[in-house]
Structure 1
Amino acid sequence: MDLNMLWFILITVLFTGYFFLEGFDYGVGTLLPFLGKNDSERRVIINTIGPFWDGNEVWLITAGGAIFAAFPNWYATLFSGFYMALFLMLLALIVRGVAFEFRSKDDRPAWRSLWDWLIFGGSLVPALLWGVAITNLIRGVPIAGNMQYAGTFWDLLSPYTLVGGLTTLLIFTLHGALFLTLKTEGEQLESARRAASLVSILAVPALLVLIILSYSHTDIFTNTGAGIVFWGALVTLLLACRLLRSGRYARAFIMNGLTIVCTTVAVFWGLFPRVMVSSLNPEWNLTVYNASSSPYTLKIMTIVALTLVPVVLLYQGWTYWIFRKRVTVKDLEY
Structure 2
Amino acid sequence: MTFLQILWFILIFVLIAGYFVLDGFDLGAGVLYPVLGKNERDKAVVRRAIGPVWDGNEVWLLTAGGALFAAFAPAYATTFSGFYLAVMLVLFGLIVRAVSLEYRAHDPKWARLWDVLFTVGSLLPALLLGVAVGNIYAGIPMDAAGNYSGVPLLGLITPFTLLCGLLGLAMCLAAGASWVALKAPKPSDMQDRAAKLRMPLQIVALVLFAAVSVYALVIVQPEMAAQLGVVRWVFAILFVVAVVAAIMAGKKNCDIGSFVLQSAAAVCLVALLAASMFPNLVVASADSVGASITIASAASSELALSWMTGIACVGVPLVLIYHVIIYRTFRGRVADDELDY
Pairing 1:126–2:133 present = no
TM-score, length of structure 1 as denominator length: 0.95
Count of matched residue pairs: 332
**Distance of 2:170 and 2:273 partners within structure 1:** 18
Q: Tell me the equivalent position of 2:233.
A: 227
**Distance of 1:18 and 1:282 partners within structure 2:** 33
1:140-151 aligned within 5 A: 140-151=139-150
Would you say the 8 A contact 1:95–1:118 is kept in 2? yes
Would you say the 8 A contact 2:182–2:333 is kept in 1? yes
SS of alignment partner, residue 281 of structure 2? strand
Correspondence for 2:330 among 317, 323, 326? 323
Q: Tell me the equivalent position of 2:191.
A: 189
Report the CA distance between 1:12 and its aligned residue.
0.8
Q: Tell me the equivalent position of 1:205.
A: 207
**Distance of 1:208 and 1:54 partners within structure 2:** 33
Q: Tell me the equivalent position of 1:168.
A: 168
Q: In terms of mean alpha carbon deviation, does 99-108 or 83-92 score higher?
A: 99-108
1:293-316 alpha-carbon deviations (Å, 9 max, x no partner): 111111111111112211111111
Report the CA distance between 1:138 and its aligned residue.
1.1
Would you say the 8 A contact 1:15–1:264 is kept in 2? yes
Q: In terms of mean alpha carbon deviation, does 233-242 or 293-302 score higher?
A: 233-242
**Distance of 2:224 and 2:50 partners within structure 1:** 35
Would you say the 8 A contact 2:160–2:212 is kept in 1? yes
Task: State the Cα RMSD in Å.
Answer: 1.7
User: What letter is aligned with 1:117?
Assistant: V
Would you say the 8 A contact 1:26–1:124 is kept in 2? yes
Pairing 1:249–2:248 present = no
Would you say the 8 A contact 2:143–2:290 is kept in 1? no
Would you say the 8 A contact 2:137–2:282 is kept in 1? yes
Q: Tell me the equivalent position of 2:158.
A: 158
Report the CA distance between 1:282 and its aligned residue.
9.3
Would you say the 8 A contact 2:52–2:330 is kept in 1? yes
SS of alignment partner, residue 144 of structure 1? coil
**Distance of 2:233 and 2:132 partners within structure 1:** 20
Q: Tell me the equivalent position of 2:276.
A: 270
1:227 to 1:137, Cα distance in 2 relative to 1, 3 A: farther
Would you say the 8 A contact 2:143–2:289 is kept in 1? no
1:158 to 1:210, Cα distance in 2 relative to 1, 3 A: same
Report the CA distance between 1:204 and its aligned residue.
2.2
Q: Tell me the equivalent position of 2:101.
A: 100
Structure 2 runs not aligned, ≥5 long: none
SS of alignment partner, residue 275 of structure 1? strand
Report the CA distance between 1:107 and its aligned residue.
2.5
**Distance of 2:52 and 2:106 partners within structure 1:** 18
**Distance of 1:310 and 1:333 partners within structure 2:** 31
1:138-158 alpha-carbon deviations (Å, 9 max, x no partner): 111112221111111222111
1:155 to 1:333, Cα distance in 2 relative to 1, 3 A: closer
Would you say the 8 A contact 2:283–2:292 is kept in 1? yes
Report the CA distance between 1:88 and its aligned residue.
0.7
1:130 to 1:265, Cα distance in 2 relative to 1, 3 A: same
Structure 1 runs not aligned, ≥5 long: none
After TM superposition, which residue ranges in structure 1, 4 or more long, deviate above 3 angstroms?
A: 280-283
- The alignment-based identity, stated in percent, is 38
Q: Tell me the equivalent position of 1:39.
A: 40
1:217-237 alpha-carbon deviations (Å, 9 max, x no partner): 125442311233124312221
**Distance of 2:47 and 2:158 partners within structure 1:** 34
Q: In terms of mean alpha carbon deviation, does 196-205 or 314-323 score higher?
A: 196-205
**Distance of 2:340 and 2:142 partners within structure 1:** 53
Would you say the 8 A contact 2:49–2:180 is kept in 1? yes
1:175 to 1:220, Cα distance in 2 relative to 1, 3 A: farther
Q: Tell me the equivalent position of 2:6.
A: 5
SS of alignment partner, residue 213 of structure 1? helix
1:333 to 1:82, Cα distance in 2 relative to 1, 3 A: closer
Q: In terms of mean alpha carbon deviation, does 168-177 or 214-223 score higher?
A: 214-223
**Distance of 1:307 and 1:155 partners within structure 2:** 41
SS of alignment partner, residue 191 of structure 1? helix
TM-score, length of structure 2 as denominator length: 0.93
